[in-house]
Amino acid sequence: MSWEANVRKVTPYVAGEQPKGQGVIKLNTNESPYPPAPGVARVLREYDAAMLRKYPDSETEPLRSELAAYYGVEREQVFVGVGSDDVLAMAFLTFFNHPSLPVLFPDITYSFYDVWAELFRIPYQVQALDEQFHIKEEDYRKPNGGVIIPNPNAPTGELAPVSMFERILRANPDVVVIVDEAYIDFGGESCLKLIDQYENLLVVRTFSKSRALAGIRIGYAFGSKKLIRYLQDAKYSFNSYTMNSITLTAGVEAVRDDSYFREITDKVIATRERSKKELAALGFSFTDSKSNFIFAAHEKYRAKELFDALRAHHIYVRHWDKPRIENYLRISIGTDAEMNTLFAFLKEYIGA
């Protein structure tokens, strides 16, 4: 018997590459191409390091109240974590606790869901999207131990209507339904309005994309007070002080500066819509993304070939060697200048 027999073995999530060096065009991890709100830089500059002597607020204040006020909910309906990955991991641990019934999520989706399910020994069953990469809502009407769906979905960028989630919620009163809204700020309609009506709905969001703060690690969630209480209880049983005080202070500034938030999300949306036209002219087809990326396949060129050619020219996009999506590239929306470099390269490579 080796000690290794007792090890919890996991196949970890593989994040997008973080290439070092200058001159790289990084369109592979859905980060914002713009800096965070100017107030964030100011509070970081002015932060009194002497404050770090003390533990941070275990209730994640002042960020929790700021988010509650901004979104018009009560603070007891808000949970804050270290990126939405932390919030989602905690939610899997807390809510997906059925001994045998599987948690349901799409076959093409955020590739961390099955990793958490494996890590926590949660049974799960993937539900195939249809040929157009739409969610088949009837798949979420069978007995299950919970449901998680991103909206817009990733990496497809497909937005499902709130009415679909309402029907899924009505069909699933006995389990927790999680809507992962990592990309909702780029033109989607949120399920947030449903939290007072459905006690079992958790809506998860992040500062990593639309608030341009992937590096600081802030995720948050909305739900009924009861649901959020359960999540807090699990968090306090794991690590009471997940959010550091610098992050809690800086995050507040990102929420307060609403006009900057709107400005950068509008810019990403405008560049995305222009990019759709450019990519279509180059022979790509794609879903009608409502996120900060486009999931595109070319009519003649294999995705892997394009991925390698782009990478050799220091343009990084994302490619998965997985069934059904191996011929797609996920291209994050960069600045207009970055996208122009991408289109110019593709034009030359493809000869369009």
Interface residues with ligand PMP (CB under 6 A) are 83-85, 110, 150, 154, 180, 182, 206, 208, 214, 219
Residue number with CB closer to ligand PMP (84 or 232):
84
Q: Closest separation between CB of residue 154 and ligand PMP, Å?
A: 4
Closest CA to 40 of 267, 264, 260, 335: 260
Residue type (1 letter), 262: R
How far apart, in whole angstroms, are the C-alpha atoms of residue 300 and residue 116?
A: 36
Residue number with CB closer to ligand PMP (77 or 84):
84
| Token output for 329 | 């590239």
Residue number with CB closer to ligand PMP (56 or 83):
83
Residue number with CB closer to ligand PMP (114 or 180):
180
Sorted by sequence, the CB contacts under 8 Å of residue 68 that are 6+ apart come out as 74, 75, 77, 78
Q: Measured between alpha carbons, how far is residue 262 from residues 24, 42, 80 in Å? A: 27, 20, 22
Sorted by sequence, the CB contacts under 8 Å of residue 28 that are 6+ apart come out as 16, 17, 316, 317, 318, 330, 332
Q: Measured between alpha carbons, how far is residue 299 from residues 133, 193, 237, 320 in Å? A: 17, 40, 51, 18
| DSSP assignments along 15-84, one per residue | PPP---STT-EE-SS---SSPPPHHHHHHHHH--GGGGGSPPPTT-TTHHHHHHHHHTS-GGGEEEESHH
Asked if residue 247 lies in contact with residue 70, where contact means CB atoms within 8 angstroms, the answer is no
Q: Which residue has the tokens 């290794």?
A: 4
Residue number with CB closer to ligand PMP (107 or 278):
107
Q: Closest separation between CB of residue 131 and ligand PMP, Å?
A: 22
Q: Which residue has the tokens 């507040």?
A: 252
Residue type (1 letter), 322: K
Sorted by sequence, the CB contacts under 8 Å of residue 321 that are 6+ apart come out as 304
Q: Closest separation between CB of residue 153 and ligand PMP, Å?
A: 8
Q: Closest separation between CB of residue 253 and ligand PMP, Å?
A: 18
Residue number with CB closer to ligand PMP (320 or 345):
320
Side-by-side strand order, sheet with 124-127: 78-81, 219-222, 201-206, 177-180, 146-150, 103-106, 124-127
Q: Closest separation between CB of residue 16 and ligand PMP, Å?
A: 8
Q: Closest separation between CB of residue 90 and ligand PMP, Å?
A: 12
Gap between the terminal Cα atoms of the chain? 62
Q: Closest separation between CB of residue 161 and ligand PMP, Å?
A: 18
How far apart, in whole angstroms, are the C-alpha atoms of residue 103 and residue 100?
A: 9
Q: Closest separation between CB of residue 182 and ligand PMP, Å?
A: 4
Residue number with CB closer to ligand PMP (84 or 265):
84
Q: Closest separation between CB of residue 150 and ligand PMP, Å?
A: 4
Residue number with CB closer to ligand PMP (208 or 232):
208
Residue number with CB closer to ligand PMP (84 or 200):
84
